[in-house]
């Protein structure tokens, strides 16, 4: 039994048999090309069949996956059908007389090496994806591969990719261990979406686990070839944790029902398109905090038309039935590029033409989107949000374009509505001038993913620097606080729509910073609601304790039996109309000052006195129920308006017999006026 400490991509616990995915990798035999019966047409037929088979496999995986995973599988399908790849295979078969296996392997190597040499980190990572597509094609051509896995196992490999992972049913994957890995790789995202623990980073550990029949993943610890006792305890723990997770999910679903009415911080949902509408409605969220409209552009072979966009935005707005629906304008550029929109090669795309910068550069495309949004706003509570804003001037330009688009629609006789215009705070520059931006925008939404990247000067796509990427860095929360303060000063709401909003350890801190809304993925809505309840309760308890420490106590104005507010026989008091209060059924007619302060008011009939405490609180002492009808009989007030009093000082003498003989209650009520 050996233990290794590895880098964590996704933490968790797993125990089970080991499956070496690299054993299925095909070794081609170039000598097979020298065959008298070689038939290029037959080899191409084998290739096309393998492509069709893998395409169906990826399509099936995409159909069963959530939105983020679905996009990854669809990207793999595009790589599979890449013209350069297919054409290279065809040339090698028809002109070089290579068999299909050798041709596929060679074409894959050529394209993977080309991508690996690209300056863009995101494109470099796609090198692994094309390698995965190649390997899976070779497995299919040989008629075997990773789908030979039959029992739930811990998958080990030098490097994994979506195409190879798609061949394995998620229920059979207990955990992943690889030598190479990245926090931002497609396999990392898939593993996170499936809740699978994932460790990487050590050739020695990989070789050790390969040589084991079974293994254990425990957070960042990998145990290879465990003894029977250790393994048995691990299996029991895994079963118990699975049961606990299922039970927790059921409780979260039950507990979150109707919870929105009990919390001040609103929980909204992040969505990517109309396909999320069923889950969106089922979640019952108060609104959509982020509709990522760029997926309408990424999912097309060309720019989506105004009508296509209008129908998509309208569908979500109508489904939300008047609830707030924030639609972000196309956030293209950096790691989100399309084949149909030419973009210049950039050494660092994250700092280049992306987000609003690209929209203002491609104004025909942008105007089409804005027209669609203006039209859709007629059908619901749509709000427009701009990504990557760094100056007031940018917001002013967009407002001018919006007004121009509205004028066009008006001239064309098309119904429209100009929605609220908000901006994303994603850079330190935007956070530091939030007070100026708040005067130009209608709301703020903080994108913590990019804000973290730019604040820490750390490319999210960079490999080997995961230990330095800290979304909980104090600088991030300080910038959020600056933004929230500036927004509230100008009466505009603040939301967070980045990954941090859905992290249990961050919810309370974000609320403390002044965030009004948290917008999270649909899968995290229920959990985030419960985290908000917990955080708000803790913060309220802390506030009450602090107030109690700082504020002078209020003394009872009479000796006697305490009566709860809801039992006071006067709806003005029992309903809390005047503020929180309490009653006392008095033992005597002596009434005391409830605090140190000044007498700020004395009723003309003498039955009530108002005090202003030294901390500014207004306190009413009201003697009897409906005793105003006595017109002062039975009351002797010993102070006058403006008198300074000390807590416990006698301020009134009351003849209780006069009150009771009149058939009235002598109850003394103390109210903290609101």
Which of 195, 193, 138, 127 has the alpha carbon at shortest distance from 161? 127
Q: Which of 591, 607, 603 is nearest to 645 (CA)?
A: 591
- What is residue 86's three-state secondary structure? helix
Residue 450 backbone dihedrals phi, psi, to 5 degrees: -75, -35
- CA-nearest of 369, 296, 384 to 338 is 296
Mapping DSSP to helix (H, G, I), strand (E, B) and coil, where does residue 75 land? Answer: helix
> Do the strands 608-613 and 597-602 form a parallel or antiparallel pair, or are they unpaired?
antiparallel
Angle value at C-alpha 342, between 106 and 394, nearest 5 degrees:
140
CB 179 within 8 A of CB 159: yes
Helices 121-142 and 186-194 cross at an angle (nearest 10°) of 70
With CA atoms as reference, report the closest residue to 141 among 21, 39, 53, 57: 53
438, 486 in Cβ contact below 8 A? Answer: yes
Report the run of H or E that residue 491 belongs to, with start and end.
Answer: none
Smallest Cα–Cα separation from 333: which of 309, 308, 347, 351? 351
Which residues participate in catalysis according to the annotation?
186, 497
Rounded CA separation 23/374 (Å): 56
- For the beta sheet containing 635-637, the strands, ordered from the edge strand earlier in sequence to the opposite edge, are 590-592, 650-654, 635-637
Q: Report the alpha-carbon distance of residue 63 to residue 593 in Å, rounded.
A: 72
């Amino acid at each position: 039994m050996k233990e290794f400490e590895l880098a964590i991509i996704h933490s968790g616990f797993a125990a089970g048999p080991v499956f070496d995915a690299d054993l299925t990798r095909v070794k081609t035999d170039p000598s097979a090309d020298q065959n008298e019966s070689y038939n290029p047409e037959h080899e191409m037929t084998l290739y096309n069949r393998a492509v069709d088979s893998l395409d169906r496999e990826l399509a099936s995986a995409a159909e069963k996956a959530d939105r983020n995973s679905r996009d990854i599988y669809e990207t793999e399908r595009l790589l599979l059908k890449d013209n350069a790849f297919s054409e290279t295979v065809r040339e090698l078969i028809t002109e070089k007389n290579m068999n299909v296996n050798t041709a596929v392997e060679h074409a894959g190597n050529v394209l993977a090496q080309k991508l690996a040499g690209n300056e863009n980190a995101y494109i470099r990572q796609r090198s692994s994806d094309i390698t995965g597509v190649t390997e899976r094609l070779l497995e299919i051509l040989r008629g075997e591969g990773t789908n030979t896995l039959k029992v739930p196992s811990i998958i080990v490999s030098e490097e994994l990719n979506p195409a190879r992972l798609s061949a394995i049913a998620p229920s059979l994957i207990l955990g992943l261990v690889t030598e190479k890995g990245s926090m931002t790789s497609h396999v990392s995202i898939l593993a996170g979406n499936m809740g699978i623990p994932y460790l990487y980073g050590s050739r020695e550990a990989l070789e050790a686990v390969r040589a084991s029949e079974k293994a254990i993943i425990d957070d960042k610890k990998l145990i290879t070839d465990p003894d029977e006792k250790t393994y048995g305890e691990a299996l029991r723990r895994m079963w118990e944790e699975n049961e606990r997770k299922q039970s927790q999910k059921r409780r979260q679903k039950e507990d979150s029902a109707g919870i929105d009415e009990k919390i001040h911080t609103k929980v909204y949902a992040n969505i990517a398109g109309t396909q999320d509408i069923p889950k969106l409605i089922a979640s019952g969220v108060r609104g959509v905090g982020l509709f990522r409209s760029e997926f309408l552009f990424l999912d097309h072979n060309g720019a989506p038309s105004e009508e296509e966009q209008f129908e998509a935005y309208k569908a979500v707005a109508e489904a939300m039935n008047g609830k707030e629906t924030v639609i972000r304008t196309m956030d293209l550029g950096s790691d989100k590029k399309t084949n149909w929109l030419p973009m210049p090669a950039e050494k660092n795309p994250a700092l280049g033409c992306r987000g609003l910068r690209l929209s203002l550069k491609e104004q025909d495309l942008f105007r089409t989107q804005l027209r669609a949004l203006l039209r859709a706003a007629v059908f619901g509570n749509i709000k427009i949000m701009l990504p990557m804003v760094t100056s007031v001037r940018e917001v002013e330009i967009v407002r001018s374009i919006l007004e121009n688009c509205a004028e066009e629609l008006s001239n064309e006789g098309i119904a429209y509505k100009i929605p609220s215009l908000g901006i994303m705070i994603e850079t330190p520059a935007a956070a530091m001038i939030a007070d100026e931006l708040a005067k130009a925008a209608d709301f703020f939404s903080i994108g913590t993913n990019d804000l973290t990247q730019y604040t820490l000067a750390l490319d999210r796509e960079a490999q080997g620097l995961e230990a330095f990427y800290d979304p909980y860095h104090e600088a991030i929360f300080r910038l959020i606080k600056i933004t929230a303060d500036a927004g509230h000063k100008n009466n505009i709401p603040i939301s967070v729509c980045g990954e941090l909003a859905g992290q249990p350890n961050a919810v309370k801190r974000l609320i403390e910073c002044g965030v009004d809304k948290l917008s999270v993925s649909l899968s995290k809505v229920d959990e985030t609601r419960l985290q908000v309840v917990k955080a708000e309760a803790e913060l309220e308890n802390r506030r009450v304790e602090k107030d109690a420490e700082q504020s002078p106590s209020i003394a009872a104005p009479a000796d006697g039996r305490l009566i709860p507010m809801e039992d006071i026989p006067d709806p003005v008091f029992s309903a809390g109309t005047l503020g929180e209060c309490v009653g006392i059924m008095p033992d005597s007619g002596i009434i005391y000052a409830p605090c140190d302060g000044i007498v700020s008011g004395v009723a003309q009939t003498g039955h009530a006195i108002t005090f202003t405490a030294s901390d500014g609180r207004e306190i009413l002492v009201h003697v009897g129920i409906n005793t105003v009808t006595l017109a002062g009989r039975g009351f002797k007030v010993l102070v006058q308006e403006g008198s300074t009093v000390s807590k416990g000082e006698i301020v009134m003498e009351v003849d209780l017999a006069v009150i009771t003989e009149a058939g009235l209650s002598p109850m003394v009520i103390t109210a903290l006026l609101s």
